[in-house]
Amino acid sequence: MAKGIWTLAEVREENLKKISFELLGCAQELAKKQNEEVGTVLLGSNVSGLADKLGHYGANKVYLIEDEKLKDYSSEGYTKVIIDLIKKEEPSIFLCGATTQGKDLAPRIAAGLGTGLASDCTQAEINEEGKLIVTRPVYAGKAFIKVICPDSFPQMAAIRPNVMAPISPDETKKYDLVKVESKLEEGDIRAKIKELIKTAGEFVELTEADIIVSGGRGMKGPDYSVIENLAKVLGAAVGASRAAVDAGWKDHSFQVGQTGKTVSPTLYIACGISGAIQHLAGMSSSKFIVAVNKDPDAPILQVANYGIVGDLFQVVPILTEEFKKLKEQQ
């Protein structure tokens, strides 16, 4: 009988990503209704030191799989060890993040297990029959549907970052550490990582940011200093619209939208972005949207909580100075 609500912990540069704690918060809420334990899967090389933090954030069991072959993320390697573990322990629900890694990994796991997968979910609950019900956007974010997971197990969902709240950590909380033997062979991983090229940057990663300042066609060129200055003051990430990326002003890694990254920050500041459907699909779930655009008829102003009609090169520096003053008063 399938039992247990599991999450996948994501590790980057020997640190746990924020989504790891958000998934545990979600799993805790679901587990309360089912009276089940929360488990999380931690993979990598020399990552055992991260287990305590997962326990403090709500995991009753941490399944630790350490292998030098798992040092760098590998879709083939991660898929195999996770599938092997799930088949052995049979959890009822398995949650991943709808991150770059999660969107690559979750479909492979679901296919390997012969189960369904609901992706990019913004809400999760359990009905009286114990079935997982998730809410996810459709039609480029213009509508939301509720999906009931099928009878196949485990029930799987990929949760969008920044939509679930982690619980407050409890450093006195006890948890069970379950060390799992990796049965990976060299031939199991056909694609080898030769080199990791890091993009140097001083801003927060887009999908994990609480505040994002984005620039679009209205930036008029690759000089993003006007919004980067605002981002520095706010401790925010910097984003870009597809028009700005297509023009070569920003790398694709900065793109917010249907063909870029989907974000759900607390505050999204759109500067010189008209608000095409493609862009709205990637940021419409932001809790508060502020738009700065000189076109009073720009679509972005229709979805914004607050709109400023004006030239961004005049408005944004004023905002930057005002935020500086507010921070100095704190």
Across 139-162, average pLDDT: 87
Q: Is 275 left (phi over 0), alpha (psi -120 to 50) or beta?
A: left
Q: How many domains does the chain have?
A: 2
pLDDT at 328 over 80: yes
Position 1 scores a pLDDT of: 47
Q: Whole-angstrom Cα distance, residue 251 to residue 222?
A: 10
Position 49 scores a pLDDT of: 93
What single letter denotes the amino acid at residue 194?
Answer: K
How much is the pTM? 0.85
11: domain CATH number?
Answer: 3.40.50.620
Band (pLDDT 50/70/90 cuts) for residue 211 is: very high
Burial group, residue 253, by CB count within 10 angstroms (0-12, 13-18, 19+): middle
Q: Whole-angstrom Cα distance, residue 140 to residue 11?
A: 29
Question: What does the block give as tokens for 72?
Answer: 């760098």
Across 236-257, average pLDDT: 94
Band (pLDDT 50/70/90 cuts) for residue 143 is: confident
pLDDT digits (tens, 9 = 90+) for 273-318: 999 988 998 898 899 999 999 999 999 999 999 999 999 999 999 9
pLDDT at 200 over 60: no
Same domain (yes/no): 175, 268: no
Q: Whole-angstrom Cα distance, residue 159 to residue 6?
A: 13
Same domain (yes/no): 135, 231: no
Torsion of CA 110, 112, 115, 121, to 10 degrees: 0
- Phi/psi for 210 (5° steps) reads -85, -25
258: domain CATH number?
Answer: 3.40.50.1220
pLDDT digits (tens, 9 = 90+) for 91-125: 999 999 999 899 999 999 999 999 999 999 999 99
Position 149 scores a pLDDT of: 80
Same domain (yes/no): 225, 99: no
Q: Is the peptide bond before 150 cis (omega within 30 degrees of 0)?
A: no
Position 14 scores a pLDDT of: 83
Range of the domain at 158: 5-188
Question: What does the block give as tokens for 50?
Answer: 């991260």
Q: Pick from 25, 67, 17, 46: which is nearest to 163 by CA?
A: 25
Strand order in the sheet with 123-126: 123-126, 132-138, 143-148
pLDDT digits (tens, 9 = 90+) for 44-62: 999 999 999 999 999 999 9
Q: Higher pLDDT residue, 204 or 256?
A: 256
pLDDT at 246 over 90: yes
Same domain (yes/no): 43, 113: yes
pLDDT at 89 over 90: yes
- Phi/psi for 258 (5° steps) reads -60, -35
Looking up tokens 């088949």 gives 87
In a domain, 199, yes or no: no
Burial group, residue 194, by CB count within 10 angstroms (0-12, 13-18, 19+): exposed
Same domain (yes/no): 251, 292: yes
Q: Whole-angstrom Cα distance, residue 50 to residue 119?
A: 26
Same domain (yes/no): 117, 31: yes
**Per-residue b/e over 137-168, b at no fewer than 16 CB within 10 Å?**
beebbeeeeebebeeebbbbbbbbbbbbebbe
DSSP 8-state symbol, 188: G
pLDDT at 198 over 70: no
Q: Whole-angstrom Cα distance, residue 81 to residue 99?
A: 20
In a domain, 19, yes or no: yes
Q: What is the percent of the chain where pLDDT is above 90?
A: 69
**Domain boundary, last residue among 160, 188, 216:** 188
Position 309 scores a pLDDT of: 97
Q: Are 218 and 188 in contact (CB under 8 A)?
A: no
Q: Are 92 and 2 in contact (CB under 8 A)?
A: yes
DSSP 8-state symbol, 225: H
Band (pLDDT 50/70/90 cuts) for residue 259 is: confident
Question: What does the block give as tokens for 300?
Answer: 């972005």
pLDDT at 2 over 80: no
**Domain boundary, last residue among 141, 158, 188:** 188
pLDDT digits (tens, 9 = 90+) for 32-42: 888 889 999 99
Q: Whole-angstrom Cα distance, residue 293 to residue 46?
A: 48
> What mean pLDDT is reported for the chain?
91
Same domain (yes/no): 166, 137: yes
Band (pLDDT 50/70/90 cuts) for residue 199 is: low
